[in-house]
Structure 1
Amino acid sequence: MALDFFLTSLIVVLLPGTGVIYTLAIGLGRGFRASLAAALGCTIGIVPAALASIIGLAALLHTSAVAFQIIKYLGVLYLFYMALSILRDGGGMDVNAEKTSKGYLRIATTGTLINVLNPKLSLFFLAFLPQFLPAGAANPGLELAKLALAFMAMTLAVFVVYGACAALARDYVIRRPSVMAWIKRCFAATFGALGAKLALTD
């Protein structure tokens, strides 16, 4: 695989999107292990988009305005739900000193849904992966699958680092409830803004 693929993928993965914001929020609210579940869920959420790109179904979202709009507004509603969930007591970013494995599956599922309900991800893969397909590849599908797996591995690694950094700041936040209150508002506003941005996507 070409160096330009890894460099471009790294830049894309590092950019703060819904998955990054969610992983950071969980890392701050629940600790490192919970952030691992979030990172894994967000990575799994890439699978449908990658498969759609490989088998050509992403073209449906590109040509069918109805299909795109349906998925888009499901994604918008989910992002707004995430914003409200963060603000309410007992939401995903509820911080306490106790670390428990309870809810890891739910955290991973939420991370998966965040990416599954983002139609732009399918269109991104449709436009992104073919650019790095080797000329004259005997099995284009296999080559695209390798690129998709490499992108997912990079996503998981970067998100784990993001979660670890957020978890390191957790103890500081626990001792300062007012700081956490402001952080929760900022994350909620970010999810709301991402939802509004998605709603305006053509």
Structure 2
Amino acid sequence: MTFESWIAFTAASAVLLLIPGPTILLVVSYALGQGWRTALPMAVGVALGDFTAMTLSMLGLGALLAASGAVFTALRWAGAAYLVWLGVKLWRAGGTLDAQPRTDAAPVWRMLGHAWLVTALNPKSLTFFVAFLPQFLDPRADLLPQMAVFEATFLTLAFANALGYALVASRARAVVRNERAVRAVNRVGGGLLVGAGVAAVAAGGARS
């Protein structure tokens, strides 16, 4: 794994994490209803959930990549197409977050567990990691150290992203309800994802 691959993975992960999916909507819902106290337990729960989903995905991905070089190439192309599809979908998304304030006074452990379950048990998470990671792996190098670095990087970003969303939602609620702000984030993120998908195809072609 080169430093350039790690930088590309970090940048793409940061963009993907900003996309408001089920996990982020849950984080925002708790923050809107109960304030900043939800930020840390929700961020920890999200990180643990991503750790679960990413580890399971890596175990399956490692077996697939060990089986065939053709499978690795197919996953690269599928992952690139997936990034482009996500980008187009995000670009066309609306300008609102469908997050209703949760006013039930849940204890810390329950909030943490809720975030973990929503993140870890989302089937899309497992599919996403299997399609996403091959874009940055070097099949000629040892896979385990690469996966460990990528997982640590992604989990750090996931924790920071969830914490940031929770703090912004609890302190500046008008921002997460501002259609222009949400639409701008969606379009910038969508454009970056399409670019990442195209770059992955170009890089794959250069390697072959």
Q: Normalising to structure 1: TM-score of the pair?
A: 0.60
Contact 2:62 2:143 in 1 (8 A): no
Name the CA shift for 1:58/1:18 in 2 (closer, same or farther; >3 Å): farther
**Distance of 1:121 and 1:38 partners within structure 2:** 17
Q: Cα deviations across residues 91-111 of structure 1 (Å, max 9, x unaligned)?
A: x7117xxxx8x6011000000
Contact 2:61 2:130 in 1 (8 A): no
**Distance of 1:156 and 1:30 partners within structure 2:** 19
Contact 1:129 1:148 in 2 (8 A): no
Question: Are 2:103 and 1:94 aligned?
Answer: yes
Name the CA shift for 1:160/1:29 in 2 (closer, same or farther; >3 Å): same
Contact 1:45 1:115 in 2 (8 A): yes
Matches within 5 A, 1:51-70: 51-56=55-60
Matches within 5 A, 1:92-171: 93-94=102-103, 103-137=107-141, 139-169=142-172
Contact 1:130 1:144 in 2 (8 A): no
Question: Are 2:26 and 1:22 aligned?
Answer: yes
Tell me by how many angstroms 1:57 deviates. 6.8
SS in 2 for 1:136: coil
**Distance of 2:124 and 2:116 partners within structure 1:** 15
Name the CA shift for 1:58/1:123 in 2 (closer, same or farther; >3 Å): farther
**Distance of 1:40 and 1:48 partners within structure 2:** 12
1:10 maps to: 14
Aligned length: 137
Tell me by how many angstroms 1:58 deviates. 9.3
- In structure 1, runs of 5+ residues without a counterpart are 61-85, 173-202
**Identity rate of aligned residues, in percent?**
31
**Distance of 2:140 and 2:35 partners within structure 1:** 47
**Distance of 1:53 and 1:130 partners within structure 2:** 11
2:50 maps to: 46
Corresponding letter in the other structure for 1:40: V
**Root-mean-square deviation over aligned CA pairs:** 2.8
Tell me by how many angstroms 1:9 deviates. 0.6
- In structure 2, runs of 5+ residues without a counterpart are 65-98, 175-208
1:37 maps to: 41
Contact 1:25 1:93 in 2 (8 A): yes
Name the CA shift for 1:33/1:167 in 2 (closer, same or farther; >3 Å): same
Contact 1:49 1:58 in 2 (8 A): no
Q: Cα deviations across residues 54-105 of structure 1 (Å, max 9, x unaligned)?
A: 2117989xxxxxxxxxxxxxxxxxxxxxxxxx98xxxx7117xxxx8x6011
Q: Normalising to structure 2: TM-score of the pair?
A: 0.58
